[in-house]
Amino acid sequence: ELTTKCISTDKVVRDEAVHSLSTDPGLAAVLPRLTVFIIEGIRVGLGDCKMYYIQYMLEMLDNLLQNKAIRLEKFLHDIIPSVISCMVCTQICGRPLEQDHWLVRGFAARILAGLVKS
């Protein structure tokens, strides 16, 4: 249910769910499933050129990084290639002239920096 809320089209529901990723200490038990969800979500978003979906996945990852009760070290070998793909993929949106894909690429770069620092 948490993952469904994190990708909801209702911004209020999505924001509440994503925010809980940064504060809920009980997420450690489901962290393997959450990271797979995020990694696969990024893969699907890149494959379908759905920039909004990539943004949702990156927001989830960013909030997990802010959660002091969670350790992502075991998952870095899976997470880092996905984040780098968001930065260097040739096309991450369907309309690159109309959509600001540089914001998503910059967000991915900030997340990668956060992963390296943690």
Residue found under tokens 């992502």:
72
User: Per-residue pLDDT for 118 more than 80?
Assistant: no
Distances, alpha carbon 102 to alpha carbons 1, 37, 108, in Å: 31, 24, 10
% of the chain exceeding 90 in pLDDT: 74
Mean pLDDT over all residues of the chain? Answer: 92
Q: What is the DSSP string of 6-73?
A: HT-S-HHHHHHHHHHHHH-GGGGGGHHHHHHHHHHHHHHHHHHT-HHHHHHHHHHHHHHHH-TT---G
Average pLDDT of span 20-45: 94
